[in-house]
A = this chain, B = another copy of it.
Amino acid sequence: MVDLVIVGSIALDNIKTPFGYVENVPGGSATHASIAASFFARPGIVGVVGEDFNHFDVFHSKNISIEGLKVVKGKTFRWSGYYEYDMNQAHTLETQLNVFENFKPELPDSYKNARYVFLANIDPELQLSVLEQMKNPLVVIDTMNYWIENRREQLLDVIKKSNILLLNDAEARELFNTTNLISAGKKILKLGLDAVVIKKGEHGVLLFTDNEMFLLPGYPLENVRDPTGAGDSFAGAFTGYLSKNSLNEEYIRKAVVYGSSVASFNMEDFSFNNLKKIKLQDIELRYNEFKNIIRF
């Protein structure tokens, strides 16, 4: 039995930042999100890898179910990219879809009753097919500019079936062609969501719920080594925490702070190296640091 289902990519990444270069390191949205979620609840991954993927140990050690993870003939999805000193912006050098090109999410029976599902950034039609396989879960959904531009109607369809939408500031502005982020958040909320979370990278997070707004600044990191997976770590921890609590304003705010805490740890080293080392206790410490940093 899993608490939340996470559907997304599992990748092998080549990443260059001003602080180093790594090759063939495990990445992808489902990888980062499930490891982040595992501090709070038991996630189950739905995804696909090729025969060249040999990083199952971390999933086992974090008690993440990989019953929904298929290994097929061929090569794992690969992403190569780099960051300059402004690490808010990832620059893609190459994307090889490989086995991900024909990915059709299929949920094992043991996943179908999970309370939550996190739909990471994939084709909205695949996101929809996941919902159709589940029995009325609470839905957290992520997306990206590509789908906003090329699959707008299908995307709006899935969003309307979701409870919480996560997106970054540029995507929020793009969705309804609104320059002001506050207006954008309010418009998006009217699609029928319980909450909209707008991620602003180092500038923090805006949360919109029915009558309230919550603003959390970014955790002040002096050493960001690799921002890859920060958004997915946020989403994983956010959904993982919520899957064990009630869905209301109070817990959604706390989930934003836990999400930001875990994402900040993830950025302090390449791949998920840092999340392999830390414990829930470290996350609690950072959560409390947040309290102190914003206190007045």
Contacts and interface: CB of A to CB of B under 8 A. Distances in A.
A85 interface: yes
Give this chain's copy count.
2
Contacts of A256: 296
Interface in A142-199: 179-183, 186
Given A85-B179, A200-B203, A203-B204, A294 B220 contact: no
Contact of A293 (B215, B257, B295): B215
Given A206-B220, A295-B253, A296-B256, A86 B214 contact: no
A224 interface: yes
Contacts of A212: 292
A262 to B, nearest CB: 15
Nearest to A251: B296
Given A296-B256, A296-B257, A204 B183 contact: no
B180 A224 contact: yes
Between A182, A224, A296, the greatest number of chain B beta carbons within 10 A of the residue's beta carbon is seen for: A296
A223 B186 CA distance: 13
Given A206-B220, A215-B217, 11 more contacts: A180-B221, A181-B220, A182-B220, A186-B222, A204-B215, A204-B217, A212-B292, A215-B293, A216-B217, A217-B217, A256-B296
